[in-house]
Structure 1
């Protein structure tokens, strides 16, 4: 074999070399993201001009702002005709922006509730947190209600007793079948809440009167009101959304029809319309003299609105599962409830 037909194979590796200067760092970012072609360069230059113009227009308004003034007229006198923001209202009314008209002597209650909320969310959002703290996450809603609204501390106890009664009946009736057990558990929990919980709360309050000063819903506002409605709506819409998503995928016509009608109706109505209905029109359909808490009405409407969208998100996730996953569950002998849970 002649030497010209021999293939040359390198016997050692070449040392690593730095990439060309134009292929790394800021130059590469500018060339590929901001000046890739003439249109991209034109948009980049135009955006820079607009940002500079906005900064020059807004900066005097912020730099010359007034933080110490007792009234709007005094703020304008301090400015002396110059352009500037009157931020003195923020310094003077920051507590109102946070708590609304909540009694100042009771500010520690919503602050403590907010801190406890972060602790309750920790085992849910962060896996390294010990799972045994989930008991506190379950107990937090009742504790937060007592702290924010006040009143007797036995009311949340009666509410949690509803779930305890339902769980006990569900465990005792499992031998009758999952469907019958669920119906009996719901019926017993509802009967406890309607006929028994009020009497139990009254008796416990008389025996051991533990209570905080009550605060009406109309005294709440600002960040406190937003966080209460937002967190409650998100927390309640997730389990309700799961139920609606499963109902829409159900093979039972009645369950599927009700789920579809609810989801499509709520998603087709703006949230402001639902809030208007909760605030004004709902009173026309209630018996005279009924005192239905305003914040509770808003929470219900926000929860229903978020539930409809959450149901569609969950239904899309379930629809994305391959058919083989369901076939594998059937091959393993799992019933429909266990298969859906897993």
Structure 2
């Protein structure tokens, strides 16, 4: 097995791209050549980062530009870490989607480039492990079994995990190392003291993981719940046993805190300096208004409660006041 990256594919991706093109949202694999926050002109907003948060920002950007057709939003999947390190913290984007909190080294990089990141939680995710629908031998795995599969020098065959499983080679698909999903999965499943295995198909394109798992009865992958909810007939979600029995990933189990340890917060980070731009601050206000809406649940994540939304709005307005004073 080896790492590879592939472009998004499939009818769902094509339809969404057509919708975004009509709405004035450009979706790209990278933001090469974008002007960024230091030289942005007119009604331009540049966003990179997490593929997990991407569907949320994509949908909100589409809705926003339908009402604000003169605004152009450039949106790219680079992974949380790739977005922070290559775009946001060097002043090339206004917003970074993130499926984990910003790291200390990234905050330092931002500071060295006079970029002040403001954190806004926007949803809750049930990070989901998936297998092929025909893999009827597995419906639930313990955290320790997942660790055996995904740690460096881990299991090579399904039968290494359980004698009742087929003697078939594991075919693994997962997040690239620049991804916040990779970081979170490594911390919660593999463990901080152990390396995540490197011999798997690594990609920022979650639909590539869907296609890979769909194509092999021996395959397994992991990604945000939104991508599973888009493809429930193509892949099968695996319940996780963290010591209290098997719990299936769902919006309900994530909201109740039962799906552990793979329930996590999702974020956007906004460059405080970008809030001096009326277009950026208007879009971020709109974004915050949508975080309690049914739109979040329709995408496949748990919306914020009104208390957390109010905290976000208060934080946003306080920072807007500071940059516009």
Q: The TM-score by the shorter chain falls in which range?
A: under 0.3
User: Which structure has the larger Rg over C-alpha atoms?
Assistant: 1
TM-score by length of 1: 0.21
As a proportion of its length, which structure holds more helix? 1
